[in-house]
Structure 1
Amino acid sequence: MQFSYFPGCTLHSSAKEFDLSTKAVCEKLDIQMVELKNWNCCGATSAHSLSEKLAIGLAARNIILAEKAQARTPARALDLVMSCAACYNRTKVAQNAFFDNPGLRSEFMESFKIKSDEVSTQIEAKHLLEVFHEQEIMAQVHQKVKRPLEELKAVCYYGCLLVRPQKITGFDDAENPQFMDDLMKAIGVSVLDWPYKVECCGAGLSLTRRDIIAKLSGKLLSRAQQAGANCIIVACPLCHSNLDLRQKEIAERTGNEFNLPIFYFTELMGVAFDIPEAPEWLEKHTVDASSLLKL
């Protein structure tokens, strides 16, 4: 199984552990991720507040690069896969804009100096969770587990960018998604039910409105503890940053005590698969994530 892979800016910088764990776990599952050549930033949560056309154009270029890769290998489906929820959201928005306005697609292709016969329009943008949730892959996940993570009582936090707007992303169930829950159960995690899995953490306001981050992310941390969780599992670098990096500051602002490790779902898969490099990924976390796993 092979895909085009768009890591995005964050996975090549502050969320490097998400990128490394994504690649290692995919290799273990015999999934080949071919990183797009010369990809660019998707625009994340900031570009669309400045210019809708700019935001669509940034993500559109990556889509067209993936279409070129598909055109070069017509015998194989090279759908475009992302681990980052923000990249996924912006890519789906751009792809939807192409469907609604074919003229916009032609305009961007002309701007990028790409001819129509150089691309295939048959690719689909997918989040890595969608790939892993396919029946064939889930069966492999069960088989690859060497160390069930039975010590973890976790809540899965999807955030808002994966599931909304549902009409565009079409990801799982917008109110009660289960893809990550099912995946984590497959590696032995005790997944707890909670009603905050698609609430917003504050996203990119962490630099300008930390008070809002403290309120929104603080609520998530509090509710996770009240649900009986000893950790939170995420699929978004923004969510991870706000809940992990800002956790001490949030505790000080809210007057609460937190000590909740925040894991990327791919990191835990790596631990469960007994991938040797997995402990190194966790060293980047602000809140100690190794002791809970007894690494």
Structure 2
Amino acid sequence: MKFAYYPGCSADGSGIEYGMSMERTAKILGFELEELEDWNCCGATSGHNTDQLLSLALPARNLAIAEKTGMSMMTPCAACYSRHRHAEHVIQHDPEMKKKIELVLEKELQGTSETVSILDILANKIGTEAIAAKVTNPLTTMKAACYYGCLLVRPVGLTGFDDAEDPQTMDKVMKALGADAIEWSHKTECCGAAMVTSRPDVGNPMLYRVLKDAKESGAECIVTACPLCMLNLDMRQAGIEKKFKEKFDLPIYYVTELLAVACGDDPKTAGINKHFVEAGQYLQTVKVRAAEAKAAAEKAAAEAAAKAKEKAAAAQAKAAGKSTDKAKPEAAATEPDLKKIEAFKTALTKNPDKMAAKLVDDPARAEILATTLDEKRIAKLAQLMASDMEKAKKAANAFVTAELKKQGDCQD
């Protein structure tokens, strides 16, 4: 999988960690980024606030270069993505404006280039299963607020890869990394963007509301895919805390940074050490909690397996007509004592008359028993005497009766 890569102006400046982690993400997941030759600034906010034609011609020039590659163009920046998608739409649906753009650029536009977001690539083109398969350091126990901002999924007619009100692509990616993507209401609200600088009276409350809602919704960090959102949430967080007298302590991450870390990269390699709000310590906390959660899960699984095995054994014993608990006591109660057996054998051998009298009440029959005891009968009687004397007496009388019958048959 290969894309024409439009890094945008922030990738080597205010959003350098985004550029670093973007390259690592591509390498980890196995897709190729070929940087667009001779690309120019898309104009972002300044362009469309200054001149409509200029705001379209700037991204259109990049699209014309991308057309020659025959590849879709990926741009990580939300503003760049929005401006290029807007230019695409105009080129494809406004023939008159398309001609004006072509005159400015002095080149013909085919309108075949497609700009794609990194979230679209991760969730829809690569897929969360493939991402999860690469995870070696899962972000288990991380509570993340996935922040899309106002440009990645709106307007629907220009984007369309996710729901405009409740987008899920970043949430799905974070879940694939092992994190808990919390539900919150400000995931597509504006952070104030450039108004935090030009109109802080308007922009600062917007930024404050995003941070506040994330915190109150249970987030321990915020994840974004927009350099300007990152700049506001990370760099300006301390100022917002001071102004509104409320502490947030929310680390801010690019989704690509966390993907790289979850797939085994050192946080510094992903650029996390370049943040304003300390972000490395929280990752360590998550790592410790993840290890504890794994150990607890393994223990619970082992206990469950042991209980299941015990239950299966009990069921098997019950099916055989015996319970596991009663099997051993019964065996102990009915198993003859070997020492007793040997003692009775000795007594029957050495004192047959005395022992016969104990087994048979009638003296004449006792005498017959004593004179007919052989090794086999002694063994049988000794075993019965050790476990059940009444059975031994019955057996002894049976021996005598059999002997008398035998003698009678011989006389006949």
SS of the aligned residue for 1:155 comes to strand
Report the equivalent of 1:221. Answer: 211
Matched ranges for 1:26-37 at <5 A: 26-37=26-37
Of structures 1 and 2, the larger Rg is shown by: 2
- The two structures have a TM-score, normalised by structure 2, of 0.67
Q: CA deviation at 1:82?
A: 0.9
Counterpart in the other structure of 1:67:
67
- The structural deviation recorded for 1:239 is 0.6
CA contact (8 A) 2:267 2:280 kept: no
The answer to whether the 8 A contact 1:267-1:278 is kept is no
245-254 or 211-220: bigger deviation:
211-220
- Is 1:94 the counterpart of 2:84 in the alignment? no
Match of residue 58 from structure 1:
58
Task: Give the letter for the 2:32 counterpart.
Answer: Q
Farther off after superposition, 274-283 or 91-100: 274-283
CA distance in structure 2 between the aligned counterparts of 1:215 and 1:206, rounded to whole angstroms: 9
Shift in alpha-carbon separation, 1:150–1:82, aligned structure 2, 3 A: same
C-alpha contact (below 8 Å) 2:267/2:273 kept by paired residues: no
Secondary structure of the corresponding residue to residue 169 of structure 1: coil
More helix by share: 2
Q: Counterpart of 2:98?
A: 105
Shift of 1:282: 0.8
Q: After TM superposition, give the deviation of residue 207 of structure 1 in Å.
A: 2.0
Counterpart for residue 84 of structure 1: 77
* Local SS of the residue matching 1:269: helix
**Paired amino acid for 1:195:** S
Distance 1:27 1:280 in 2: 12
C-alpha contact (below 8 Å) 2:20/2:269 kept by paired residues = no
Displacement of 1:150 in angstroms is 1.1
1:266 CA drift (Å): 0.2
- 1:163 CA drift (Å): 1.7
Aligned residues: 285
- What does 1:127-206 correspond to in 2, within 5 Å? 127-134=117-124, 136-206=126-196
2:116 matches 1:126: yes
Counterpart Cα distance in 1 of 2:239 and 2:16? 23
Residue number among 247, 263, 270 corresponding to 2:237 in the alignment: 247
Q: CA deviation at 1:139?
A: 2.5
Shift of 1:260: 0.3
Match of 1:287 in 2: 277
Alignment partners' CA distance in 2, 1:122 and 1:192: 38
Q: Which residue number in structure 1 is paired with residue 13 of structure 2? A: 13
Provide the C-alpha distance between the structure 2 equivalents of 1:34 and 1:109, rounded to a whole number of angstroms: 25
Residue 268 of structure 1, aligned match among 250, 258, 262: 258
Match of 2:384 in 1: none
Q: Is the Cα contact below 8 Å between 1:145 and 1:272 reproduced in 2? A: yes
Report how far residue 111 of structure 1 moved.
3.2
Runs of 4 or more, structure 1, over 6 Å off, are none
SS in 2 for 1:275: coil
Please say if residues 20 and 270 of structure 2, whose CA atoms lie closer than 8 Å, have aligned partners that are also in contact. Answer: no
SS at match of 1:263: strand
| Residue 106 (structure 1) shift | 3.8
Residue aligning to 1:75 = none
Aligned residue for 1:58, secondary structure, equals helix
Letter in 1 for 2:68: K
1:94 Cα deviation (Å)?
A: 0.5
1:121 deviates by 4.1
Q: Indicate if the aligned counterparts of 2:21 and 2:270 stay in contact, CA closer than 8 A.
A: no
Distance 1:171 1:203, change over 3 A: farther
Contact in 2 for aligned 1:29/1:137 (Cα 8 Å):
no
Per-residue Cα deviation, 1:165-215 (whole angstroms, up to 9, x for no partner)? 112222300100000000000001111001110001011113222232320
Which is bigger in relative contact order (C-alpha 8 A, separation at least 6)?
1
In structure 1, distance between residues paired with 2:125 and 2:102: 36
Q: Is the 8 A contact 1:85 1:235 kept in 2?
A: yes
Supply the AA of the counterpart residue of 1:172.
Answer: D
Cα contact 1:151–1:293 (8 A) shared by 2: no
Q: Give the letter aligned to residue 208 of structure 2.
A: G
Q: Secondary structure at the match of 1:233?
A: strand
Contact 2:184 2:217 in 1 (8 A): yes
